[in-house]
Structure formats: structure tokens, C-alpha cells
Amino acid sequence: MITDPFDAGPRGAFKALCRSYPDDTVFRGDDGFRSLWGPIFYRGRADGSARLLVIGQDPAQTEAFTRRILSGQAGRRVQGFVEKLGLTRRYLMVNAFLYGIYNQDMALPHLHDPEIEAYRNQWLRAALAPGRIEAVVTFGTPAREAWKAFLQSPAGAGVTVFQQAALHPTADKPNGPISRQDLLDNWNVALQHLHPRIAHPDAAVPLVPYGADFTAAELPEIPSRDLPMGLQAWMRSTDFWATLASPPGTERANISIQVP
Amino acid sequence: MITDPFDAGPRGAFKALCRSYPDDTVFRGDDGFRSLWGPIFYRGRADGSARLLVIGQDPAQTEAFTRRILSGQAGRRVQGFVEKLGLTRRYLMVNAFLYGIYNQDMALPHLHDPEIEAYRNQWLRAALAPGRIEAVVTFGTPAREAWKAFLQSPAGAGVTVFQQAALHPTADKPNGPISRQDLLDNWNVALQHLHPRIAHPDAAVPLVPYGADFTAAELPEIPSRDLPMGLQAWMRSTDFWATLASPPGTERANISIQVP
């Protein structure tokens, strides 16, 4: 028998936000968004119990299948990060963009489009409303800018929760300016700032920093309780089983799913 | 804004059955099952409110993406069928087999394997337990045999609900022995028997039989309230966007998803 817990879904204000959301006239295909795959709303506890709020950037093809954000390669890196803070379940992850992006140069300038920002701010307000969030971590520049904009909005007035910026989980592109070591050094600094802020971890653990590379233990599987019912272990513990079929760089890219 | 309702998930006994289910040692790859894609549990109201219980056969590749049964071509045909009974929401659909089948000759003989039958009977018992089901319709031979086996089991003792057998929704294979007209004639007979049994339809409608072929109105879209949050209209109203990639006839077939 398989007895994995699964995500029973959003509650309250979170559920309402999954029930009413901007469409492809807001996240336009011509603006670089892959709105055809639909929105991917969150991962983690959309029920008011979260202690850490994680803000990422946008969902990709793996997430189009799992229907939860941060469940592919970037997601497993982030999962290791939050578990170093002693958080194995009481986190909520949302993205700066509700829909995937196929062209960053086109899409990122729309971060502050009024309807995009207003909807995102509703999520951030809903996350903070229960009063349990002890820290916010933003991964990547759009996430950091999204948080800043929230603080400057009416919805964010008076918010004083601690916020830490970190590099995007896959900022270490091959031949790019940011090395794996740069990424992990940045994450170690972020962890040092965040760790003392989490007063109610799921399990109190001493902070163990990253070394020169991610270890296997630092790339844990996505917890089954974060994903819909019936998703299998290989969907949580392996990467790259969902790939963009040809042509990859367009709005209408297709997905190829390969059983590992 | 998109304001589609979505399926908030199973409740009570149904939720428990989605939390604990047979694995690939029961639905074995060597026995013709595509267990790698995981189980697909139901479609419709897994909350005790259903008036009609639909039993189908097994999920295919479209359902592996939507994570709800009967949401591809066969599902749209069945949707038209239940709507002819005035049921637009209060139905529950389950399958004879929890996992997909890649080889019917290998898999169908396992219909009565003790663990397969016992788990399926738990679903049928849960469906009947609230006392609201007014009729059962089985689509195809495995579904009919599954119902018979349930009645002969301890779980089915004393069950007297009306049951109607119908041909499988895609029984009309090209060059096969069953024509489209044969299928629709069979379904018309089934509808005549079922229609008077539904005492509490969602909307009372006179029975309009099928003609020589499915009309567009007889292939309605899968209701958004039957699918997980965020799935888009094209996933509900078009067919064949999910196909088996090469090689199609093996356990490890991959899925290719094409945006229409």
C-alpha cells in the first residue's frame, strides 16, 4: 500500500484566490507569458499555518504537471534550503508570476503591471493575515522587487516581518557570471540571517551551511504532502522528467513527459 | 478574471481511500498495468452528495495529466450521457481499475485479484454509504463484472440499488464489430432504464435520445468543478491533446502534451 499524505488543497482566502485569478488578458502570451498552461498557485501550506513565506519567480514545465510551484530542480534546491531552517512542512511558497514565462526579457518588465501586482499582493496579504509568518525569503530579483512593491502598497502598510533576499535557486547557469559556489555562499548568508528568526520550526535543528556543492541530502524530495493526491515518488525525487518539446522558446511549447 | 469552480478534493472515507491505496506490487507492470503514472481515483463528487454512481474501466494519458478519470474522449461522451439524466454535478465516477492499462489481454484477467477487488469494493461501499445513490451505471464489461463481484462480496451484502449496464464509451472502434449506431442504440436503452430512477436530478430534463451520431451538445466539456484548480478551458473542451509517445504499447510509454 502507498500511504503518502497529499495536499488537501487551499483553505479560506487562499482557496478564494485559486477560484478567481487573472487570465491571459493580464498575463499575455505576447508579453512572454506561457498562459496556455494555466496558473500554478503555490506549494506548501495554504491554510494559515505557515511560519516561512517563500517567494519565487515563475513555474516551468514540471510544475505544469504537478500543479504546484517549485517542484522541479529549483524546487528541490529550495526544499533543502527551508529544511535547513527546521521547516519540513510549515512554509508557504508563492511566485512573483502566476504563470510561466517563455521570454524573460519580455515578461519581467510586467512585474508591476497593476493587475499582476494587485493579485500577487492579495496572496502576500493572505499569507501574512494569520499572523504566523516569522520571516520572508525572496529568491531572485523579481521576487525581491515583488516584496518591495508589496510593502509600498496599501496591502503591505505596517508590515514589519523580517525579509531576506537570496539568489534564484538556479542562478548558477553554465558559463554564467554566478558559480555554484557563489550561489551557495549567498544562500549561507541568507540562512544565517533567517535561522534565528524562525521561532517555531517544525524541528529545531542547528544550522549546517552548504559546502562547495549541493549534497544529496541537500536536494531532498518534494514532500508528498505538498503535491496532489496520487503523484508518485519518481515525480518528487527526480528532475528533468518533464521537458519542453520543440520549439522550446515559444508560448505554445509542448511538454514531453518521460518516465525515468 | 477566471472564476471557474474547481474540485476541492475528496472528503471523509473517499479522502482516506486516496491516502492509502494499492501500489505496483498489486497493479504490476508485468501484468499489463501502467502503474508508473500513479493512481487516478475518481471524477465528480467524492463527498457523499452523488446521486448516480458511474463505473468505468481504467484511466489513460489525458487523465494522467488532469488526475481525474474520464476526462478525455471517453469522459466527454460519458459527461453527455449523465447530463441527459439531468445530472450536471451530483455524480461520482470511479473505475474498475485504479491504474491505467497498457495491455488489456494481460490486465483484464486481474479484475478479481483479491487486493484489486477489495480496494475497489471499498470505493463502491463508500459511494453507497451516504444512502443517496439512486442508480449505478457500468460502462463496459470489466465495470459490469466489478459491480457483480461487489454484490457478491460482504461489502455489497444487501445492496439493492438499481444497476444498468452500458457499452464502453469508445466501444465503437474503427473496423470493429460495434458501430457508432450500435453504441448509441445501446446507450439509448440504458438511458430509458436509468432516467426514471433519478429522483433527484440537478435539473429535471426530459430524456432526449441520441440520434445517428454524437452531436456537439452531446459532447459537453468536462466541468471545471470536476478538475483540479487552475486547469484551463482547452483541457476540458478538446480531445487528444495528450498522446502516448513512442513506444506506445509498453509500461514505460511517455506522454506528449500538445497545446491545441
Q: What is the pLDDT of residue B177?
A: 96
Rounded to whole angstroms, the Cα distance separating A187 from A201 reads: 19
What's the pLDDT tens digit per position in A160-205? 999 999 999 999 998 899 999 999 999 999 999 999 999 999 999 9
Rounded to whole angstroms, the Cα distance separating A197 from A82 reads: 13
**pLDDT over 70 percentage in chain A:** 98
One-letter identity of residue A83 = E
B44 pairs with which residues across the strands? B92
Chain A residue numbers touching B228 (CB-CB < 8 A): 67, 228
Among the partner-chain residues B4, B36, B259, the one whose CB lies closest to the CB of A259 is B36
Q: What is the pLDDT of residue A107?
A: 97
Min Cα distance A3 → chain B (Å) is 4
Residue partners of B242: CB distance under 8 A and separation at least 6 = B61, B62, B64, B65, B72, B255, B256, B257, B258
Q: What is the pLDDT of residue A154?
A: 95
CB of A231 within 8 Å of any CB in chain B?
yes
Specify the pTM: 0.96
pLDDT at A248 exceeding the cut of 80: no
What's the pLDDT tens digit per position in A72-87? 999 999 999 999 999 9
Q: Kindly indicate the confidence band of residue A237, based on its pLDDT and cuts at 50, 70 and 90.
A: confident
Rounded to 10 deg, the angle between the A114-128 and A12-19 helix axes is 160
CA A197 and chain centroid, separation: 20
For B33, the 3-state DSSP assignment is strand
Buried b (16+ CB within 10 A) or exposed e, A96-125: bbbbbbbbeeebbebbeeeebbebbbbbbb
Q: What is the pLDDT of residue A22?
A: 98
Q: What is the pLDDT of residue A247?
A: 66
> Is A53 within 8 Å of A78 (Cβ atoms)?
no
Chain A residue numbers touching B1 (CB-CB < 8 A): 20-23
Q: What is the pLDDT of residue B154?
A: 95
Phi, then psi, of B69 in degrees rounded to 5: -75, 165
CB of A118 within 8 Å of any CB in chain B?
no
pLDDT at A206 exceeding the cut of 90: yes
Chain B residue numbers touching A38 (CB-CB < 8 A): 230-232, 235
Sign of CA dihedral A176, A180, A181, A185: positive
Q: Kindly determine whether residue B232 and residue A9, on different chains, have CB atoms separated by under 8 Å.
A: no
Chain A residue numbers touching B10 (CB-CB < 8 A): 229
Chain A residue numbers touching B22 (CB-CB < 8 A): 1-2
Q: What is the pLDDT of residue B9?
A: 96
CB of B10 within 8 Å of any CB in chain A?
yes
> Is B165 within 8 Å of B15 (Cβ atoms)?
no
> Is B158 within 8 Å of B66 (Cβ atoms)?
no
For A105, the 3-state DSSP assignment is helix
Q: What is the pLDDT of residue A102?
A: 92
Q: Kindly determine whether residue B65 and residue A65, on different chains, have CB atoms separated by under 8 Å.
A: yes
- Longest Cα–Cα distance in chain A: 50
Q: Which three cell numbers stand for residue B54?
A: 458511474
Average pLDDT over all residues of chain A: 95
> Is B140 within 8 Å of B186 (Cβ atoms)?
no
What's the pLDDT tens digit per position in B242-260? 888 766 667 776 788 888 7
Q: Which three cell numbers stand for residue A173?
A: 547557469
Regarding predicted confidence, which is higher, B165 or A251? B165
Among the partner-chain residues A1, A252, A259, the one whose CB lies closest to the CB of B254 is A259
Rounded to whole angstroms, the Cα distance separating B246 from A222 reads: 28
Rounded to whole angstroms, the Cα distance separating B238 from B251 reads: 26
Q: What is the pLDDT of residue A239?
A: 73
> Is A198 within 8 Å of A86 (Cβ atoms)?
yes
Q: What is the pLDDT of residue A249?
A: 65
The one-character DSSP state at B155 is G
What's the pLDDT tens digit per position in A117-170? 999 999 999 999 999 999 999 999 999 999 999 999 999 999 999 999 999 999
Q: Which three cell numbers stand for residue B62?
A: 489525458
Residue-level length of chain B: 260
Over its C-alpha atoms, chain A yields an Rg (Å, rounded) of 17
Q: Where are the beta strands (DSSP E) in chain A?
A: 33-34, 43-44, 52-56, 91-95, 100-101, 135-139, 162-166, 242-244, 255-257
Among the partner-chain residues A1, A235, A256, the one whose CB lies closest to the CB of B245 is A256
> Is A132 within 8 Å of A50 (Cβ atoms)?
yes
C-alpha distance from residue A54 to each of A38, A50, B21, B122, B253 (Å): 21, 10, 32, 39, 36
Fold that domain A29-198 belongs to in CATH: Uracil-DNA Glycosylase, subunit E (3.40.470)
A21 pairs with which residues across the strands? B2
Q: Kindly determine whether residue A15 and residue B8, on different chains, have CB atoms separated by under 8 Å.
A: yes
Strand pairing report for B255-257 and A255-257: antiparallel
- Strand order, beta sheet including A52-56: A43-44, A91-95, A52-56, A135-139, A162-166
Residue ranges of chain B with pLDDT lower than 50? none
Residue-level length of chain A: 260
Structural domain boundaries of chain B? 29-198
